[in-house]
Amino acid sequence: MEGTKLISVEKVTCTHVRVPLLTPFVTATETVTERESLIIEVVDGDGICGYGECVAFSTPWYTEETVYTAKYALKEWLLPKVCEETYKHPREFFESTRQYKGNYMAKASVDLALWDLYAKKQQVPLSSLIGMNRSQVEAGIVIATETEGQMLADISKAIEKGYKRYKIKISPGNAFDRVQAVRRKYPDLPLMVDANGTFSTDQQDELEKLDRFSLLMIEQPFDTSRWLAHQQLTKQLATPICLDESIDSVEAFELAIALEAADVYVVKVGRVGGLSEALRLANMAHGNGVPLWLGGMVELGISRAHNVAFATHPAFRYPPDLSETSRYVAEDVTAPPVVVEKGYIQTRTEAGIGFKVKREWMQSYRIDEWSVSVN
């Protein structure tokens, strides 16, 4: 079946949307109150549509790419390119864009749309092209609040939903207190922390003190390119060290494995250039027995839908950052909403991403839109 039907995009549309979040997402470096996103729709000659989402943020607090740089790359190079070419398989798009350096989140949005289209053309669920035939995947949650009190309240609500794994955000000065506060109340909670690269090696003693709390892992303590500092801390602490922001490509992952820079890794589909590259990375992790899990981006429904499918991949050893729709937005671009029941999310049985994309929603939150067509 695979590769028997050519992918030939006749029209591609990029819709720039801005949606208020129900509650602010607070990290050490940014508070996100509105989520901007670029929704990509590709349509082929048979009228079949595929959808992708660009997960870059509005400002470069997380990666150097933003919604606005991605928009430029899409407009100037990537959308004209996808209309010019014909592919046997979605992975050929990423390969065909290697002449344009970086811009992985922009490339990923098109790659994801092509995967959705490809699965729909074969009339199979996207998950069946990726992973195992799982009817459900585990749900994990990120608690990113301003105050310690709110953090504990959010954890308590998430426990009622049965989430399988809990992550709190930390930064220098609050790490020990926050973890201690959670552990006093929930000594056995499957808990991990994410520093988003905010610690310097001079502040390492606070991280060392976390070793007593039986955390699942400490995620991205130091800045993105601090390979040797991470390698050193991995040797030093009993708690597993995890790299997130540092893994910005398959090649960065190869380097990390060679350096033994961490014990565990996060893959984010957007950050590594799309599902094609993320699958290459996941297969590499699986083949090498390297623990991997799937990260989230406070994304909207289309990226979430792709993640539900990708979460079925056998490489993943921990529950993903995958929570329910109502955690972030009142109404999403996709239907039905993703829900968590007893700690699980159902995978879809319909073709492609398996969710309906709501055009009326796109119109309500649209701030810009343009299309490129085959001449």
154 near Mg ion (CB under 5 A): no
Tell me the DSSP string of 197-265: T---GGGHHHHHGGGGG--S-EE--S-TT-HHHHHHHHHH-SSPEEESTT--SHHHHHHHHHHT--SEE
Count residues near Mg ion (CB under 5 A).
Answer: 2
When the beta carbons of 64 and 76 are compared against Mg ion, the nearer one is 64
268 is catalytic: yes
Contact region with Mg ion (CB under 5 A), list: 11-19, 31-39, 108-116, 242-250: 242-250
Amino acid (one-letter) located at 241: I
Contact region with Mg ion (CB under 5 A), list: 155-163, 240-248, 271-279, 305-313: 240-248
Interatomic CA distance for residues 327 and 143, integer angstroms: 10
When the beta carbons of 206 and 244 are compared against Mg ion, the nearer one is 244
Cis amide bond preceding 172, omega within 30: no
258, with CB counted inside 10 A (0-12, 13-18, 19+), is exposed
Q: Which position has the token pair 């899409």?
A: 74
Helix or strand (DSSP H, E) at 364 = helix 359-365
Residue 174 beta carbon to Mg ion: minimum distance, rounded to whole angstroms: 16
From candidates 36, 53, 138, 244, binder to Mg ion by CB under 5 A: 244
Site for Mg ion in 192-231 (CB under 5 A): 194
When the beta carbons of 29 and 363 are compared against Mg ion, the nearer one is 29
At residue 285, φ and ψ (nearest 5 deg) are -60, -45
When the beta carbons of 264 and 353 are compared against Mg ion, the nearer one is 264
Catalytic residue among 71, 268, 356, 358: 268
When the beta carbons of 138 and 244 are compared against Mg ion, the nearer one is 244
- Token pair belonging to 197: 């690269």
Catalytic residue among 11, 169, 209, 358: 169
* Residue 202 C-beta-side C-alpha neighbours within 13 Å: 0
Residue 244 beta carbon to Mg ion: minimum distance, rounded to whole angstroms: 4
* Residue 99 C-beta-side C-alpha neighbours within 13 Å: 5
Contact region with Mg ion (CB under 5 A), list: 49-57, 157-165, 188-196, 228-236: 188-196
Residue 73 beta carbon to Mg ion: minimum distance, rounded to whole angstroms: 24
Q: Where on the chain is the footprint of Mg ion (CB under 5 A)?
A: 194, 244
The residues that are catalytic are 169, 268
